[in-house]
Amino acid sequence: MSKLILTRHGQSIWNAENRFTGWVDVDLSKKGVLEAQMSGRLIKNLDIKIDVSYTSFLKRAIKTLTTILKENGLDLKFNTSWELNERHYGSLTGLNKEETKKKIGEEQFKKYRRSWDTRPPPMAESDKNHSLFSPLNASIPLGMIPFTESLKDSYKRVIPYYENEIQKHIKENKNVLISAHGNSLRALCKYLFKISDKKINELEIPTGNPLVIEFDTNLKIEKCYYLDKSRAKTIIFNQ
């Protein structure tokens, strides 16, 4: 039985400031570092071998992953991929969420933040936040970097990467660890748990709380659970 462990990075500096972060390469907050360390200890308590690990191009996810590996005494090489990046929030990037909600109204705010296929307005080419993106983005093929995304857009890059690069290890009965982001993990959970376009807006992924998914030999999910029960969120299946 193979295990897939999904971990949203620990709280970032902009999470703490309640700002739309998206592709901006902000670091973990002090709380986020502690959450990453706790994630590592929770995973260590599973007493399993981590065979392969993946993360995005963003330092908050990379640092969470390396912290987890360190807590487990592992010096494994890990895979980075832009396809696992957070959703691109377009022109909302950097804005305070509460202030934005007051400005545009709660209904439009919810559509931008949680709907399946509504994109925020695109980020302008002159936007100063471009300079705050990860330097690793230089390796992304020309024309592939978005200026805004819906969750559906994120899904279109996350799922092919999962199917082509990650799923093969699960088929080989290996244990896989992914350290990524709220929306890239929501996209993956939508696929794995067969969540409808309508219900996906209800799925929340907490920071720094590993979600373990156990598969049988036919890649059927046998069970799934958060390691920190006190901060667990509802897992939605086939809805």
Q: Positive or negative CA dihedral for 220, 223, 228, 234?
A: positive
The dihedral over CA atoms of 224, 113, 60, 48, expressed in degrees to the nearest 10, equals 0
User: Shortest CA distance to 64 belongs to which of 54, 52, 73?
Assistant: 54
Q: Positive or negative CA dihedral for 180, 183, 187, 192?
A: positive
User: Shortest CA distance to 198 belongs to which of 117, 121, 131?
Assistant: 117
Angle in degrees, 0-180, between the axes of helices 106-114 and 97-104, rounded to the nearest 10: 130
Give the H/E segment covering residue 180: strand 176-180
Active site residue 86: yes
Given the residues 9, 35, 149, 181, select the one marked as catalytic: 9
Given the residues 35, 83, 86, 149, select the one marked as catalytic: 86
Active site residue 9: yes
DSSP class of 18: T
The catalytic site residues sit at 9, 86
